[in-house]
C-alpha cells in the first residue's frame, strides 16, 4: 500500500519549494483567467445560458489553457493547477501533506481568486459566472466525482506512474483533452468543474465543488497508487 507522508517544514520552506508554490500560483491564475474570460465572452455574445457553440468554445479554451498551464509548471511544481489533483497525489503518497497544504490553500486558491479579481477589473465589474447543478445536489456531486476521477486518473497514468516513459508534452496534452471532454459531457449537469479552487463570491452550492472533486481525487490516489502503479507489467502476446 502507498504511504501518506507528512513531510518536513525545512523542505517545505526550501528555495525549490517556494519556487514551486509561485509556479502553481501563476499556472492556476493563467488557467482560471483564460477559462472564465471565455465564459464571460460567451455570455456577452449570446443570449442563451448554454448553447452548443458556446459549450464547445468553453471546453476547447479550458483544454488549451490547461495544456499551457500544466506545461509551464510541470518542471517546477509538477503543474497540478487543481486542488483535487494535488489532494489525489497526496493520498497516493506522491507528494507530502505539507506540500498539499501549501499548494492549494496558499498557491492554487489564491491564484484563482486573483484571476477572478483581475477579470472583474478588466471587464468593468462583470459578475464572475458560477457553476450550477441541473438535476440536484446529489447528482451534481456524483458527476463531479466521476469527471474528477477521470482527470486525476489521467494525471497518474501520464505523469505520476513510473512506467509512463518520457513525459514530454504527452501528459499536458492528455490532461487538457480529458478536461475539455469532461466539460463537454458534464457542463449541462454540474458545470464540469473538477476543481474547488475557483471562488467568485457566490457560495450557493459551493460545497458540491469541494466534496465531489476531492472524493474523486482521493479515490484515484487510493486506487491507482495501490493497484496500477504497483502491479507487475504483463507483456501482451498474440500467442495462445
Q: Mind listing the pLDDT tens digit for each residue in 19-37?
A: 999 999 999 999 989 888 8
Q: Grid coordinates standing for 166?
A: 518520457
Cβ(74)–Cβ(166) under 8 Å? no
Grid-cell match 500560483, residue found: 25
Instruction: Evaluate the CA torsion angle 141, 155, 181, 82 in order and state its sign.
Output: positive
C-alpha cell at 54: 458556446
Classify domain 11-226 at the CATH topology level.
Glycerol uptake facilitator protein (1.20.1080)
State the DSSP string of 59-100.
HHHHHHHHHHHHHHHHTTT----SHHHHHHHHHTTSS-HHHH
Lowest mean pLDDT among 87-91, 161-165, 211-215: 161-165
- What's phi and psi for 64, nearest 5 deg? -65, -45
- pLDDT level of residue 202 (50, 70, 90 thresholds): low
Query: For the whole model, what pTM was predicted?
Result: 0.83
The distance between the two most distant Cα atoms of the chain, rounded to a whole number of Å, is: 68
Amino acid at each position: 500500500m502507498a504511504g501518506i507522508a507528512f513531510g518536513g517544514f525545512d523542505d517545505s520552506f526550501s528555495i525549490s519549494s517556494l519556487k514551486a508554490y509561485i509556479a502553481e500560483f501563476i499556472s492556476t491564475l493563467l488557467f482560471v483567467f483564460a477559462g472564465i474570460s471565455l465564459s464571460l465572452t460567451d455570455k456577452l455574445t449570446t443570449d442563451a445560458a448554454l448553447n452548443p457553440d458556446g459549450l464547445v468554445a468553453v471546453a476547447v479554451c479550458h483544454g488549451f489553457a490547461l495544456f499551457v498551464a500544466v506545461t509551464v509548471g510541470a518542471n517546477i511544481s509538477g503543474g497540478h493547477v487543481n486542488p483535487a489533483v494535488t489532494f489525489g497525489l497526496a493520498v497516493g503518497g506522491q507528494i507530502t501533506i505539507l506540500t498539499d497544504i501549501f499548494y492549494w490553500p496558499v498557491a492554487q486558491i489564491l491564484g484563482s481568486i486573483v484571476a477572478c479579481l483581475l477579470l472583474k477589473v478588466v471587464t468593468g465589474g462583470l459578475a464572475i459566472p458560477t457553476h450550477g447543478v441541473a438535476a440536484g445536489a446529489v447528482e451534481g456531486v456524483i458527476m463531479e466525482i466521476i469527471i474528477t476521477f477521470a482527470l486525476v486518473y489521467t494525471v497518474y497514468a501520464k505523469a505520476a506512474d513510473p512506467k509512463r516513459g518520457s513525459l514530454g508534452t504527452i501528459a499536458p496534452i492528455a490532461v487538457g483533452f480529458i478536461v475539455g471532454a469532461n466539460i463537454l459531457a458534464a457542463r449541462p449537469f454540474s458545470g464540469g468543474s473538477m476543481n474547488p479552487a475557483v471562488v467568485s463570491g457566490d457560495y450557493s452550492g459551493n460545497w458540491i465543488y469541494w466534496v465531489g472533486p476531492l472524493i474523486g481525487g482521493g479515490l484515484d490516489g487510493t486506487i491507482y497508487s495501490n493497484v496500477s502503479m504497483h502491479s507487475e507489467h504483463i507483456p501482451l502476446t498474440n500467442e495462445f
